[in-house]
Amino acid sequence: MSKKKIERRLEELEPRDDDDGPPIMIQMTHFDHEGQYPTVDESPHPELTVQQFPEQRPKSLVIAVPNMLAEPYCNQPHLTVATCDTVGKHTPEGIPEENAPVPACELWEALDEADLEREKEIREENGEPIPELLAEY
């Protein structure tokens, strides 16, 4: 889900009693190597990495995380999704394990075939880049 789409949907979000798991908050991050622009090959997980939209951050990269529910302002526990490159660097001590960031690569590995097909459909509908991982679907 793009940052703009998350921002547009924030006002519509309401806690749901029927949700099996905690809501997910996506942490929008990008790679930069001390001011130098990286290539997709320099990403720790190139298969999950897409070139960012040129009009947003030229020559920057983002991990292509699945489209998920974002509820950053709720009072219940939430799961923060972070890039594989930064997840271990910015986790303050004392955060309960259920609230700790999870690398985007772990989320991809947890998706089944139907999830991946739906993910590709959503990205195509939104005009978002299709990462190499989804190309075969």
pLDDT tens figures, 3-47: 556 555 555 555 555 555 555 555 444 445 555 555 666 666 666
The alpha carbon dihedral of 46, 52, 54, 60 has a sign of: negative
Whether 84 is covered by a domain: the verdict is yes
β-partners of residue 16 are none
Whether 58 is covered by a domain: the verdict is no
Query: Which amino acid appears at position 62 of this protein?
Result: V
Whether 103 is covered by a domain: the verdict is yes
pLDDT at 28: 45
pLDDT at 60: 47
pLDDT digits (tens, 9 = 90+) for 101-122: 666 666 666 778 888 888 888 8
Whether 113 is covered by a domain: the verdict is yes
Whether 37 is covered by a domain: the verdict is no
Give the mean model confidence (pLDDT) for residues 116-137: 81
Spatial separation of the C-alpha atoms in residues 46 and 62, rounded to whole Å: 10
Residue with the larger pLDDT of the pair 48 and 58? 48
- Nearest Cα neighbor of 69 from 34, 116, 109, 22 is 22
- Nearest Cα neighbor of 48 from 66, 27, 60, 32 is 66
pLDDT at 92: 60
Whether 49 is covered by a domain: the verdict is no
Whether 92 is covered by a domain: the verdict is yes
Domain count, the chain: 1
DSSP annotation string for 71-120: -TT-SS--EEEE-TTTTTTS--TT--GGGS-EEHHHHHHT--HHHHHHHH
pLDDT digits (tens, 9 = 90+) for 53-105: 444 444 445 555 554 444 444 444 455 566 555 555 555 666 665 556 666 66
Whether 122 is covered by a domain: the verdict is yes
Domain that holds residue 108: 3-9+22-29+65-130
